[in-house]
Amino acid sequence: MELDYLGHLARESARFAEVLVDADPQASVPSCPEWTADDLLWHLGEVFLFWGTIVRERLTDPAAAEEAKPDRPGDRPGLLDFYERSTSELMQTLRDTPPDTPVWTWSDDHTAGFVRRRMAQEALIHRLDAELTADAVTDFDADLATDGVLEGLQYFFSPPVWGTWHADGPVGRLRATDTGADWLVQLGSFSGLSPNTGKTWDHEPSVKLVDSADPTFTLSASARDLDAWLWGRPPLIEPVIDGSTADLEQFRAIIAAGID
């Protein structure tokens, strides 16, 4: 089933602003303790502006989008105005751009469709950050959360396409109890020379989706709670763990390093 990413982006970004508009500007964000509420507002607006520029200008390099960022507004009204403009421009740009349009992304999917998906998921997780800040947590759309788990495993914790993969760890299963989705993840590492940074990686811990294997642990929760757990945010109900807790902790450490 193809998700309506633009519809989700509109709803999640609106809820984000709704929650933060009356929040104390200096309130700490529990899930990102180095940030205040105003830092969170600036961050998501900045992200929306960056990717809106990438897609609108059909950029093949991110440098121009970085250069287009304005100075941070000095007060809450200015930040809210910046966020609203960035959101509106991103939405209009994505509506006007076919998903298969080639653009720069940091992934191996260089299309505007990747940006649609990424921005819907970005807004979802930061909406939760805003709700945690305001102590006003609500549920996730289960299908969007299921897709969020898959996206995280595909792009944030998996080895880069230029890396040599070493399947030298155990296998785990993640199971969404409400949507019936499940994923097998092979723990391992990758090595190689990054063409982007010139840095050499030697057996860097990573995970990879696999089609079949015998898992040593299973992590079961609602799609919402699995998505939150993967992103280091508190679940509503802690996932149920079956099997090797040591192997799960190895997986948890890889996830934490990938997000950081």
- Fold for domain 159-259? Nonspecific Lipid-transfer Protein; Chain A (3.30.1050)
Judge whether residue 214 has pLDDT over 60.
Answer: yes
Provide the token pair at 40.
């969170």
In which element (H, E) is residue 186 found? strand 182-193
pLDDT digits (tens, 9 = 90+) for 37-87: 999 999 999 999 999 999 999 999 999 999 989 999 999 999 999 999 999
Residue 166's pLDDT is what? 94
According to DSSP, the β-strands at 182-193 and 171-176 are antiparallel
Question: Which amino acid makes up residue 118?
Answer: R
- How open is the CA angle 115-67-62, to the nearest 5 degrees? 35
Specify the DSSP class assigned to residue 158: S
For domain 5-134, the CATH superfamily is dinb family like domain (1.20.120.450)
Provide the token pair at 239.
């996932």
CA–CA distance, 123 with 127 (Å, rounded to integer)? 6
Task: State the helix-helix crossing angle for 112-134 and 223-230, rounded to 10 degrees.
Answer: 90
Q: How confident is the model at residue 259 (pLDDT cuts 50, 70, 90)?
A: low
Specify the DSSP class assigned to residue 152: I
pLDDT digits (tens, 9 = 90+) for 190-210: 999 988 788 999 999 999 999
Contact, 6 vs 116, CB < 8 A? yes
Hey, where are the domains in the chain? 5-134, 159-259
pLDDT digits (tens, 9 = 90+) for 140-159: 999 999 999 999 999 999 99
Residues pairing with 193 in the sheet: 200
Backbone angles phi, psi at 143, to 5 degrees: -70, -40
Question: Which amino acid makes up residue 11?
Answer: R
